[in-house]
Amino acid sequence: MVDGTSRINLSNVIVGDINANAVSTTVNNGSIIIGSLCGDLNGDGNVTTADAVIALEIAAGSRPFDAAADVNGDGIVTSLDALMILQAAAGQIVIC
């Protein structure tokens, strides 16, 4: 091994958890963030109503599973997760 800097180009990388569920990744200014803030489904660093809408879309099957959307940790994404994200966005509960 040689000390120094190596350039790595990655494309179409899918990161999965131990159960082969996709884990979200975000590339931002040279950093790769694996996973995301619990409930932050659009990766903007905040839990908002937009994230609740995404959770509902996942629950309805129109988006792929995202472990960050399973805020009650039961292994599936349902409207309950969306409701909890909505409540967290309103500051009523703390999730994860």
Q: Give the binding site for Ca ion (CB under 5 A).
A: 40, 42, 44, 46, 51, 70, 72, 74, 81
Nearest-CA neighbor of 38 among 66, 59, 57?
66
Residue 9 or 56: the one with the smaller Cβ distance to Ca ion is 56
> Is the CB of residue 88 less than 8 Å from the CB of residue 46?
no
Least distance in angstroms from the C-beta of 58 to Ca ion:
10
CB of 70 to Ca ion, least distance (A): 4
E strand map for 37-91: none
Angstrom distance (rounded) from CA 90 to CA 52: 11
Answer whether 47's CB lies under 8 Å from 40's CB.
yes
Q: How near is the Cβ of 94 to Ca ion at its closest, in Å?
A: 16
Rank residues 17 and 74 by Cβ distance to Ca ion and give the closer one: 74
Between residues 12 and 31, which has the closer beta carbon with respect to Ca ion?
Answer: 31
Q: Take residue 63 and report the two structure tokens written for it.
A: 């988006």
Backbone angles phi, psi at 32, to 5 degrees: -110, 120
Q: At its nearest, how many Å lie between Ca ion and the CB of residue 9?
A: 28
- Of 16 and 45, the one with the shorter C-beta distance to Ca ion is 45
